[in-house]
Structure 1
Amino acid sequence: MKILFASLRAIAAIAIVVAITAQFLHTASLTTVYPLNFFGYFTNQSNIIAAMAFAISALFIFSKRAQPDWLIYLRALATVVMAIVGIVYNTILVNAGLDDSFNLQWSNDILHIWIPIYAVLDWALFGDRKKLPFDKLWVMLIYPVIWLVVVLIRGASDGWVPYPFLDPATGYASVAVYCLIISAVTILFGYAAYALSRVRVLKP
């Protein structure tokens, strides 16, 4: 069963790398690509986090080594941020223009639909993780908060923001509300991920 877990994670990691690379090259063929902008999207960063979590986990399993605690937290974070990507994109951003950054449809589907679904199923079904303590739920906020801070600094300095609802032009009160919502959703999804870490559906 462990080999199945590792194989699926390796495939998911490869799919992410292929999708992001293809989208980058496709966008570059149409217009000038600014890497800081392209990789500034929560979607791309979250998928990179997921690819790292899946690939490292697969390597530990294939090498028959126990997964360290930090990797379990990384996998939990990948689950949380990918769930957010899937829900936010498909409910709020699916019809929004994002500067031609997600215009390759099959790549877009992998990054916004299939990987979010897989990430949640992987965490919910595959029982190769320890129980995560709720008093360390704050760990899930580290990455989203850093991302928000960087986005707000860039929005105020060079005017670039990855998503319309974080644009300072809409008013800082509105942006603040969305930041609070993102933080609250992260904590909520993190709590769910921590709770699921106590469930064993498919045991290794």
Structure 2
Amino acid sequence: MSSSTRLLALGVAVVAWAALLAQYVLMLAGTWNDPGPWVATLRYFSFFTILSNLLVALTVTSALRSARRAGFFADAAVRGGVALCIGVTGLVYFFVLSATWAPTGAQWLVDKALHYVTPLAYLAWWLVAAGHGRLRWSDAPRWLLFPGVFLLWSLLHGAWTGWYPYPFLEVGALGYAAVLRNGVLVGVLFLALGLLLVALDRAMARRRAVLPAGAGDRAE
């Protein structure tokens, strides 16, 4: 890995880990007495935003190690899937969720880091440093597994506790039919963007293949 791409990975890792930690502290501070730290922790890890940012943090942190030691997170399909998840996180927040609340102070900063800075920074790293040409069209439907499990968990957890992480998953207010319809719509978004991501990966691999010798070498 070149010094520039290592620096980019380090920058993404610092932003992602710092935002995750800050969000956890803010959430605990606001819920220490009700519903309490254990419930708050469970809810913290029940937000797709947190999970996708955590995947980013783990992926770029592993990229700072050697390819052999990076293990699971060095796989091209994993890195592409993380790009898809964090990209959808930013898009859904910008177009759907940002109008539902108005954070201030430290929460505003953390909110922007989780939903805008980290997604853009990771996608930039994926574009320039992750290596391309190894994604398959079949990866796009496989990437639906993670959001599918998240939806199932949200419905089960919500049926048990009455709490849902996002307004479009509120079964009590919308009913199961509407929530499942919302889930299908988000699934279509995942699939469409996943196919677009694979197409982009292949296009970038072809572009590097026609560059002069040395100009298109992989960063790692």
Q: State the TM-score, normalized to the length of structure 1.
A: 0.87
1:109 has 2:115 as partner: no
Summarize the Cα distance change of 1:29–1:76 in structure 2 as closer, same or farther, 3 Å threshold: same
Query: Does structure 1 conserve the Cα–Cα contact (< 8 Å) formed by 2:84 and 2:197?
Result: yes
Q: How far did residue 128 of structure 1 move?
A: 1.8
Q: Which runs of 5+ in 2 are unaligned?
A: 209-215
1:36 has 2:42 as partner: yes
Q: How far did residue 2 of structure 1 move?
A: 2.8
1:142 has 2:148 as partner: no
Matched pairs, number: 200
Cα displacement string for residues 84-135 of structure 1 (whole angstroms, at most 9, x for unaligned residues): 111111111113249x8x9611111111011111222222333623421112
Query: Does structure 2 conserve the Cα–Cα contact (< 8 Å) formed by 1:6 and 1:59?
Result: no
Whole-Å separation in 2 of the counterparts to 1:71 and 1:47: 18
Letter in 1 for 2:153: V
> Map of 1:188-199 to 2, 5 A cutoff?
188-198=192-202, 199=204
> Map of 1:5-24 to 2, 5 A cutoff?
5-24=5-24
Bigger mean CA offset, 18-27 vs 46-55: 18-27
Name the counterpart of 2:54: 48
Name the counterpart of 2:78: 74
Bigger mean CA offset, 108-117 vs 136-145: 136-145
Give the fraction of aligned pairs with identical amino acids, expressed as a percent: 23
Name the counterpart of 2:123: 120
Q: How far did residue 69 of structure 1 move?
A: 8.4
Name the counterpart of 2:87: 83
Cα RMSD between the aligned structures? 2.5
1:175 has 2:179 as partner: yes
Whole-Å separation in 2 of the counterparts to 1:134 and 1:107: 35
Cα displacement string for residues 139-168 of structure 1 (whole angstroms, at most 9, x for unaligned residues): 211211111110011122211110010011
Ranges of 4+ aligned residues in structure 1 off by more than 6 Å = 65-69
Q: How far did residue 27 of structure 1 move?
A: 2.6
Q: State the TM-score, normalized to the length of structure 2.
A: 0.81
